[in-house]
Structure 1
Amino acid sequence: MRGTAILAAIGLAIAGPAAAQISDDAVRIGILTDLSGPYADSGGKGSVVAAEMAVKDFGGTVRGKKIEIVSADHQNKPDIASTIARRWFDTERVDAVLDLPVTAIALAVQQVAKEKSRTVMITAAATSDLTAKTCSSVSTHWTDDTNALTAGTARAVFERGGKNWYFITVDHAFGHALQKQASDVVTALGGKVVGTSRFPINNADYSSFLLQAQSSGADVVGFAAVGDDFTKAIKQANEFGLMTGKQTMTGFLVYVTDIHALGLPVAQNLTFSEAFYWDQNEATRAFANRFREAVGIMPTKNHALIYTATLHYLKAIDKAGTDEAVAANKAMRDLPVAFFGAQTRIRADGRHLYDPVLYRVKTPAQSKGPWDYYEAMRTIPAAEAFLPMNPACANSSPG
């Protein structure tokens, strides 16, 4: 009997900590997003809803502990974002932060998460530096990065006849990176960059740039811009007849909400690659219809990736038996990712690997109804889209 009691006590000692590894008896997930600015449609309220949907689908608890979603507006300012993240981690006991549109914001919060050894899952910001340079064992990057958005897209468009390119580029580090990475692929494949026009952020008039692109003889006009700058340039390109002309119009960071705002008569024939489109398969349609009932729009790739990342994080906590960041992130890397019918994975450096798809925006005549906007042109293998892993990131540490 004494031996049995000792064995039972040992069993409790082993099982007890695992059951108690959920800090503060709750898992708290913070959605740090743009609730009121230019990225409110691609993120915003929809980001919060997507995370809540994942929690509901997981069952509402993990290892018997409740799951809570909190949210805040970073106002597109890195200092505000990092201040919120520190407060969440230090006083509000938030275990993980998601979303993070805008590169500077993602880099700032990623650094805070490293310092505090908390989980950060980046589903919106696109710079490849998040895994190539600033990787850590508590950080994962889920969305298309600048290499996937440009290199994969440029190769796919090149193979469809786009040999000579003209770039209309926002004069900012992000625009420069998009143009350089696409140009490197085009020239490596034997193509040419026949011209470039650069414009300031919040530019109003693109006419001179568009006329130069139109007369350049380029097969492809690449718009290395995002948000309002991108949509304004596309509207004016349509006015000059470029969207229905012989040249291929290519974007790099494009959301379905951008196309919805532009309308098919304006955006038709635009090409770009995407991580997610609502009408890909039964799983994407089922998620999209639920999301639209709650939010009123179809989900963007950011919304879809927040849902996927949240669900995967909860599975990882369940597997690891803890929400401690390093252990949970190791489990995230060990487990396959369920990505709407595709089985994808997270590499050791935190890069989510999947096969993006090159799409073309349908003409009004081709569309069968509301939000029926994309035609799939080519699947881009992950090996073409994403950079090889930086060996220094293979065993990255939290700090």
Structure 2
Amino acid sequence: MGEAVVASARPSIRLGLKENWRQFSLLVLINAFVGGMVGIERTVVPLIGAKEFHIESTTLITSFIISFGVIKALANLVSGQLADTWGRKRVLVVGWLLALPVPFMIIGAPHWEWVIAANVLLGASQGFAWSMTVIMKVDLIGPKGRGLAVGLNEFAGYFAVGLTAFLTGYLASRYGLRPIPIYLGIFYAAAGLILSILVVRDTREFVRLEAAGRSTEASSLSFRDVFLLTSIKDRNLFAASQAGLINNLNDGMSWGIFPLFFTGLGLSVERIGILKAVYPIVWGVCQVVTGPLSDRWGRKGLIVLGMWVQAAGLFLTAFTAQFEWWLFASVLLGIGTAMVYPTLIASVSDASEPSWRARSLSVYRFWRDLGYAIGALSAGLIADRFGFAYAILAIAVVTFISGGIVAIAMREHR
């Protein structure tokens, strides 16, 4: 993308999408498999808790999302440091090794605790594998096309989430919640691991190329310095981190609450699968547009508007009781999230120096994916006390407020 930059010491290393399209495309495919591993859970796992294990507490049912979110957030936090010391490829392979047991544990789970344990492994796997596909694409493409790189990465991941959610819902409606719908996860884990070991190349040389000639002062930052900068000290990084947390807070709520909410209002498993598929598919597809659009228009406006569109989708879900309105609300959620998701990662990359960008992205992803746990826990507690609709409404209000914080705190970075 743009003019290729040639390193004097390593002429074969050049930044850009055109120059690195083979590795870039491979990483897009691998991230589709990463997303598919989450997709196997979106429709059927909350229903397994309610129907097979007869769990009545919403908070207990959503506990698998809490374990997933906490562990994924912690894995994100260390993934950037590991990427700089071990190398991107090694961390990616470790992520896939952690994913391999997950579908087998869900298929054979005799107790709900097995599902929670499977999601501990899945969270660690996602934290390592998804983080590396993002970081490696940003490494390859250089500074001119970060929105495009992230948009394509997140498109692949979340399109696969949605498609797998639909397929598992369809299979569950015909063959039951287990084991057949979960077989997809075995294929994803095996394919992702094989490709990562045999075909993927590390990208640290591209980071060295981009950092060449820049000030070395920033490279001396400690992890603590980067954590504080990304979390609170830099206003752009703070705005992005809190928006990422709230974005995944409402996604964690929808993951755990929506299947139970729709089931309680009489919707079939197949139709729930459709609703659970539309949101991430729209989210995934639209990122192909919103990612590069943020390179042209800037980051801030897309993030603010995207958070408010998500809030509108959540309000509509809570206040209506028809499949068609829920379908439209799912489209709104997908569009809003697509406006926010790649743009936030690109904005963090903008505000970070190449020498500590991987660590800054890992801190941002820590806060973002901690939102899964906070969203599932808070929504579960509210739902147990007041009902599903009130839980959805509460998260909608928080999402709207987060967009306002970005509008006030963030400065456009070009």
**Same fold by TM (over 0.5)?**
no
**Which of 1 and 2 has greater Rg?**
1
The structure carrying a bigger helix percent of its residues is: 2
TM-score by length of 1: 0.31
TM-score by length of 2: 0.30
The structure carrying a bigger strand percent of its residues is: 1
